[in-house]
Chains A and B, each alone.
Chain A
Amino acid sequence: NAGVTQTPKFRVLKTGQSMTLLCAQDMNHEYMYWYRQDPGMGLRLIHYSVGEGTTAKGEVPDGYNVSRLKKQNFLLGLESAAPSQTSVYFCASSYVVGQTYGYTFGSGTRLTVV
């Protein structure tokens, strides 16, 4: 019963480097999300997906790209990392059945950009 798995759990990048964060879920959820968490800011939505092959921008999308080629995976890319992208990143997935919602979060990826 893996739920939502994020890889890697920790990463240090140099300014200008690129990387991809992987989110994988095994619950057949339609919806997936990427958030970043910064002190005093709560979690802010970066991008989301309502199904395989679809993506949309959230509140803070600049500097990030995403892809959802397979239903179970949602990738977050940083093309040219900046110190302002130092954060903890959380992935989540959800189902919606009528008025019933269920959300599952990953354990987070701590990214430091130096």
Chain B
Amino acid sequence: AQSVTQLDSHVSVSEGTPVLLRCNYSSSYSPSLFWYVQHPNKGLQLLLKYTSAATLVKGINGFEAEFKKSETSFHLTKPSAHMSDAAEYFCVVSDSQAGTALIFGKGTTLSVSS
């Protein structure tokens, strides 16, 4: 079965510095991968998705992620953090064995200080 592991439960950065949120996946074949963001007491918002097209995926708000099959990774990056980026981020894989249900990682909380 597919799964994802988010390597950091909490990441702290200063405003204006780069963001790196790490995610490794496990899949028996080419997966569909996603990053979602959830601001405090809010719903889920799709940042970006990879579905076997270009390996570098650009999302909203300046985020991007690179699919690396050899490393089974799908890390999320942003060149310069903004205070509004403080939120919880989820790496997600689609499980074709469960009706294409999304399987979520446990999340990474991003804190941004001024």
Contact check, A49 vs B102: say whether CB atoms are below 8 A apart: no
Cα distance A81–B62 in the bound complex, in angstroms: 43
Q: Select one of A40, A90, A94, A106 contacting B100, CB under 8 A.
A: A94
Chain B residues with CB under 8 A of A77: none
Chain A residues with CB under 8 A of B104: 35, 42-44
Q: Select one of B43, B98, B99 contacting A105, CB under 8 A.
A: B43
Contact check, B100 vs A42: say whether CB atoms are below 8 A apart: no
- Interface positions, chain B 49-103, Cβ under 8 Å from A, are 49, 51-52, 90, 94, 98-103
Q: Select one of B32, B90, B94 contacting A43, CB under 8 A.
A: B90
B interface, size bucket: 20 to 34
A101/B100 contact (C-beta < 8 A), A90-B44, A106-B43 known: yes
- Shortest Cβ gap from A45 to chain B (Å): 5
B14 within 8 A of partner (CB):
no
Q: Which residue of A lies closest to B49 (CB)?
A: A101
Contact check, B44 vs A42: say whether CB atoms are below 8 A apart: no
Give the B-binding residues of A (Cβ under 8 A): 31, 33, 35, 40-45, 48-50, 56, 58, 90, 92, 94, 96, 99-101, 103, 105-108
17 pairs from A and B in contact (CB 8 Å cutoff): A31-B100, A33-B99, A33-B101, A35-B104, A40-B107, A42-B105, A43-B44, A43-B90, A43-B104, A44-B104, A45-B98, A48-B98, A58-B98, A99-B32, A100-B51, A101-B94, A105-B44
